[in-house]
Amino acid sequence: MPRRAEHNSTRRPRKPHRGRTWRTPAAALLSALSLITALTATASFGADSPAGAARATAALPAYDHVVVVVFENKQYGEIIGSTNAPYINQLAAGGASLTAMKALTHPSQPNYFNLFSGGTQGITGDGCYTPQSMTAPNLGQELIAAGKTFATYNEDLPSEGSTACTNGQYAQKHNPWFAFKNVPLNTGKTWAQFPSADFTRLPSLSFVVPNQCNDMHSCAVNTGDTWLKNNLDAYAQWAKTHNSLLVVTWDEDNFLGSNQIATVFSGANVKQGKVTGAYNTYSLLRTFEDLYGTAHAGNAATATPITDAFSTGGGEPPDGVLSVANPGPQSCKFNQTCAVQITAAGGTPPRKYSAAGLPFGLAIDATTGRITGKTWQTGTFQITATATDSAQASASTTFPLTVNWF
């Protein structure tokens, strides 16, 4: 933080009161102006500048291991408080449970790309992508560049590094990492390769993706809850005393709600209780990046990290300033259901949402911030989404929405 160092060096000679050299009025004025300029520049640093990054990451622990488990297609209320998910509720009660966490879109696959790379990368459906075809920045590539280790453990993946589209209950649509040529294929592991006998062999950060039954996509909530307890409770308990973290989250809701999803943090340095800040998938990616001090991929660069889940400090959100997360480029199909989630953080709740530039047929829910409907217009539209809090403060973001014929 060079500007802070310069500011400190400017002030240091002022401390002695004896033998001070008096300055001329002109020199004193120039010195005061320089000091004001330095202070202003320091205060205006963004989150991606060295000063801003230090402020954003100061409250986050430095973990040895983070394991992220991603489940499927369930609303917040189907998990938190549900008797069908006793183990997950046990983790939530003993850790940090996010009460206003939202996914960004539908269907499943674009949300996985949002979580891994801060954008959908043009993916709008659940069809199989071309492996090793993308070069966009992503969490795996960032961790490796920062000297950390990364891996994914994918249930029913045929073999390490396999780019198969499907295999039994395995589905490529839940595994975005194979799409990026800047992520080595051998970081994609089978579930059998998860080091359950020695958690110290885990990489710095890893994703665990159950198959389509155990992730609650095709089977009941209780099936996934039981799978999590049987397969990861040992790690969850170990993490508490070994400077490690377990994160359990969902890709999206079941299309019937506001895309609110459960997300639970459990492990060392986790603050027990509810986390009420309005966060989204980009916030979760930004948090993982800040935990390890990496660069920021796509829309994670402007997202709010979830600092208030940790006992090391933090706020919800930083400085209480109202902000609207940019969902990135979105796409819909002509005369088909379209959904885009707008999420705000900070300010004074409750917040109201509005949107300008929407094509005919789409509307935004003023309470939830969800844009839904079917449109009969095609083309690319610049949408400006605005959140206004109860103190009448407002914040906006603009993103492109493309409506295609097919």
| Ordered per-residue pLDDT tens for the chain, 406 residues | 444 433 443 344 444 344 333 344 444 433 443 333 333 333 333 333 333 333 334 458 899 999 999 999 999 999 999 999 999 999 999 999 999 999 999 999 999 999 999 999 999 999 999 999 999 999 999 999 999 999 999 999 999 999 999 999 999 999 999 999 999 999 999 999 999 999 999 999 999 999 999 999 999 999 999 999 999 999 999 999 999 999 999 999 999 999 999 999 999 999 999 999 999 999 999 999 999 999 999 999 999 999 999 986 444 444 457 888 877 778 889 999 888 888 887 778 888 999 999 999 999 999 988 899 999 899 999 999 999 988 888 888 888 999 998 8
Is there a single domain that holds both residue 260 and residue 134?
Answer: yes
Query: What pLDDT is recorded for position 348?
Result: 81
Task: With respect to residue 55, please indicate whether it lies within any of the assigned structural domains.
Answer: no
Task: With respect to residue 25, please indicate whether it lies within any of the assigned structural domains.
Answer: yes
Closest by CA to 149, choosing from 269, 294, 296, is: 294
Task: With respect to residue 369, please indicate whether it lies within any of the assigned structural domains.
Answer: yes
CATH of the domain at 350: 2.60.40.10
Query: What pLDDT is recorded for position 390?
Result: 86
Give the tokens for residue 303. Answer: 């997202």
Domain termination residue (choose one: 305, 320, 335): 320
Query: What pLDDT is recorded for position 347?
Result: 78
SS (H, E, C) the chain: CHHHHHHHHHHHHHCCCCCCCCCCHHHHHHHHHHHHHHHHHHHCCCCCCHHHHHHHHCCCCCCCEEEEEEECCCCHHHHCCCCCCHHHHHHHHHCEEECCEECCECCHHHHHHHHHHCCCCCCCCCCCCCCCCECCCCHHHHHHHCCCCEEEEECCCCCCCCCCCEECCEEHHHCHHHHECCCCHHHEEEHHHCCCCCHHHCCCEEEEECCCCCCCCCCCHHHHHHHHHHHHHHHHHHHHCCCEEEEEEECCCCCCCCCECCEEEEECCECCEEECCCEEHHHHHHHHHHHHCCCCCHHHHHCCCCHHHECCCCCCCHHHCCEECCCCCEEEECCCCEEEECCEECCCCCCEEEEECCCCCEEECCCCCEEEECCCCCEEEEEEEEEECCCCCEEEEEEEEEEECC
Query: What pLDDT is recorded for position 59?
Result: 59
Is there a single domain that holds both residue 247 and residue 341?
Answer: no
Query: What pLDDT is recorded for position 320?
Result: 57
Is there a single domain that holds both residue 302 and residue 247?
Answer: yes
Is there a single domain that holds both residue 198 and residue 273?
Answer: yes
Task: With respect to residue 297, please indicate whether it lies within any of the assigned structural domains.
Answer: yes
Task: With respect to residue 50, please indicate whether it lies within any of the assigned structural domains.
Answer: no
CATH of the domain at 248: 3.40.720.10
Strand partners of residue 310: 270
Is there a single domain that holds both residue 208 and residue 77?
Answer: yes
Task: With respect to residue 16, please indicate whether it lies within any of the assigned structural domains.
Answer: yes
Domain termination residue (choose one: 263, 287, 320): 320
Is there a single domain that holds both residue 311 and residue 331?
Answer: no
Is there a single domain that holds both residue 302 and residue 363?
Answer: no
Q: Can you give the residue range of the structural domain that contains 22?
A: 2-44
pTM of the model: 0.69
Torsional class of 143: left (φ above 0), alpha (ψ -120 to 50), beta (otherwise): alpha
Domain termination residue (choose one: 294, 320, 346): 320
Is there a single domain that holds both residue 169 and residue 201?
Answer: yes
**Number of compact structural domains in the chain:** 3
Task: With respect to residue 54, please indicate whether it lies within any of the assigned structural domains.
Answer: no
Is there a single domain that holds both residue 31 and residue 67?
Answer: no
Is there a single domain that holds both residue 39 and residue 19?
Answer: yes
Task: With respect to residue 49, please indicate whether it lies within any of the assigned structural domains.
Answer: no
Is there a single domain that holds both residue 201 and residue 226?
Answer: yes
Is there a single domain that holds both residue 313 and residue 332?
Answer: no
